[in-house]
Each structure stands twice: as structure tokens, then as C-alpha cells.
């Protein structure tokens, strides 16, 4: 059994990394989180195109963190016989994150202040929801 601090740390890390990866993927697909803040003072109603990425990023952070915490809190370690599977899974995750991050270089330019503020807000929300996902699913 892993210590609870290690389970929470791994779950938070997995949740936030998945949120960052989804944010990059959505921005590359044209669904950036910055337009919500640019249109915040407008009188028109907000549409799903601007609020959808926020919900998707928060949801993926909650889900991945919960699954990670549930798996780590219930697994018996050491898993010596599954060493090759763990290495293959870890390598696949690293390549997937590198592939998603590589696509962020082709994003259209945006206002740096708005982009930074929205990215930090998204990371804060993703971190809070990742902690909630880990807290609700960890075995006590």
C-alpha cells in the first residue's frame, strides 16, 4: 500500500497534466479558453464554444485524477511481474504528451496577458478538481 501523500501527489500530477494536454489540444482545434475572458464584458450571452473548453478541462482533470487515485490506493505493490507493462505504458504517455505539446507551436498568436491569465485560471481550477477527484476515490 502506498502512503496517502504519494497517492494524492501522483493523482494531482496526472490530473493537471491531462488538463494541460487537453487545453493545448483544444486550442489547436480552435476552442481556446481565452475568448471567454475577452467576451466577458459583452452583453451577448455566452455560447457553448467559449464555456465548453472550461468544462472539458475541469472534467478531464477530475476524471483522470480520480482514476489514478483509485488505482494507486487499491493496488498492492511492488508489481514486479508487470514491470514491462509499466514501462510500455509510461513510454506511451510520454510520447502522447510530447505529440500534443509539439502541436502547440502552431497556435495562432494571442494577447499574452489574457492568455497567461486564462491559463493560470484553468490550471487553478484543474488542480482543485483534481484534488476533489483524488479525495473522493482514494480508498481509506
Give the model's confidence band at 87: pLDDT under 50 very low, under 70 low, under 90 confident, else very high.
Answer: confident
Give the model's confidence band at 78: pLDDT under 50 very low, under 70 low, under 90 confident, else very high.
Answer: low
Phi, psi of 44 (to 5 degrees): -75, 155
Measured CA to CA, the distance from residue 44 to residue 25 in angstroms comes to: 27
| 79: its cell numbers | 508489481
Q: Whole-model pTM?
A: 0.79
Instruction: Print the domain residue range for 116.
Output: 4-137
Number of domains in the chain: 1
| Displacement of CA 137 from its chain's centroid (Å) | 17
pLDDT at 41 over 70: no
| DSSP H or E stretch at residue 140 | none
Tell me the CA end-to-end span of the chain in Å, nearest whole number.
11
Amino acid at each position: 500500500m502506498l502512503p496517502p501523500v504519494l497517492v494524492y501527489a501522483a493523482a494531482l500530477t496526472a490530473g493537471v497534466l491531462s488538463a494541460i494536454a487537453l487545453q493545448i489540444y483544444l486550442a489547436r482545434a480552435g476552442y481556446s479558453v481565452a475568448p471567454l475572458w475577452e467576451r466577458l464584458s459583452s452583453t451577448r450571452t455566452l455560447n457553448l464554444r467559449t464555456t465548453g473548453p472550461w468544462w472539458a478541462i475541469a472534467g478531464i482533470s477530475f476524471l483522470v485524477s480520480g482514476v489514478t487515485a483509485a488505482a494507486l490506493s487499491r493496488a498492492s505493490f511492488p508489481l514486479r511481474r508487470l514491470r514491462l507493462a509499466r514501462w510500455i505504458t509510461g513510454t506511451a504517455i510520454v510520447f502522447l504528451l510530447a505529440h500534443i505539446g509539439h502541436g502547440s507551436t502552431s497556435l495562432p498568436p494571442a494577447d499574452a496577458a489574457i492568455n497567461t491569465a486564462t491559463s493560470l485560471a484553468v490550471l487553478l481550477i484543474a488542480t482543485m478538481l483534481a484534488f476533489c477527484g483524488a479525495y473522493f476515490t482514494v480508498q481509506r
